[in-house]
Amino acid sequence: MFDEIYPDDVAQWVDDGAQLVDVREAWEFGAGHVPGAVNIPLDELIGRIGELREPLVLVCASGNRSGMAAQYLTGRAGFQKVANLVGGTYLWVARGKPLQKPGETDPQTSFRTV
């Protein structure tokens, strides 16, 4: 079982040491992602499972792909502390949260902004 969280919950998970993983395709990630997230596309997840650590917050555009990843990780791969960002980057932006682009290190692009 995994947690379903909302944009305002992400900061607490990160404070608790969560890794943010965006499971969208590289081109989607490159257009903007939750600040601090790393990109491991869904179709690469199983092969790159060694790069994951708990606690873990999974993100995609809408919460669908990240939900599938969360289900796999908790149901078959033995992960226990996993969260799916409900609404993904769509809800993130709708709630006024900024997106970060690869290579951007501007402190204004924090998930705590707004």
- State pLDDT tens for residues 70-105: 999 999 999 999 999 999 999 999 999 999 987 777
Q: Which of 18, 34, 57, 60 is catalytic?
A: 60
- 39-81 pLDDT, tens digit per residue, is 999 999 999 999 999 999 999 999 999 999 999 999 999 999 9
pTM of this structure: 0.92
> CA-to-CA distance for 92 and 96, rounded, in angstroms?
7
What pLDDT, on a 0 to 100 scale, did the predictor assign at position 111? 59
In a domain, 113, yes or no: no
Asked if 39 is an active-site residue, the reply is: no
CATH number of the domain residue 52 falls in: 3.40.250.10
More confident residue, 51 or 108: 51
> Is there a domain that residue 111 lies in?
no
With respect to residue 102, please indicate whether it lies within any of the assigned structural domains. Answer: no
Residue 110 lies in a domain: no
What's the total number of domains in the chain? 1
Domain assignment of residue 8, yes or no: yes
Residue 105 belongs to a domain = no
How far apart, in whole angstroms, are the C-alpha atoms of residue 81 and residue 105? 28
CA 102, CA 92: separation in Å to the nearest integer?
17
